[in-house]
Amino acid sequence: GAVVSQHPSRVICKSGTSVKIECRSLDFQATTMFWYRQFPKQSLMLMATSNEGSKATYEQGVEKDKFLINHASLTLSTLTVTSAHPEDSSFYICSAVAIGGYTFGSGTRLTVV
């Protein structure tokens, strides 16, 4: 089936630095990818929709200047958390639309210290 590869799986960074998370569709082209954030013991919250070749669409309350999304090719979308702070520590998951339905990356655990 369709696979989305997400890296890194875990990252620890210092407060004030930026972190980039990548999601690649391995055997299909993904014109649209979705980025979610999940805080402990909570559900997945949609942050933004990434569209190849155009600007991402952000959900209400998500700072587009803080969470930079780039979808420059049909197989790669990146989420960059800029000037990360401890409150940005969370589990980030990407998703893409494949022929069989939606497929999810394995997630990235971000810890900002």
> Applying CB under 8 A, which of residues 2, 3, 11, 44 lies at the interface with other proteins?
44
What 3 state SS string does the chain have?
A: CCCEEEECCEEEECCCCCEEEEEEECCCCCCEEEEEEECCCCCEEEEEEEECCCCCEECCCCCCCCEEEEEEECCEEEEEECCCCHHHCEEEEEEEEECCEEEECCCEEEEEC
Number of chain positions touching other proteins (CB under 8 A): 24
Work out whether 66 is an interface residue with other proteins (CB under 8 A): no
Q: Which residues bind other proteins (CB under 8 A)?
A: 32, 34, 36, 41-46, 49, 57, 59-60, 91, 93, 95, 97, 101-102, 104-107, 109
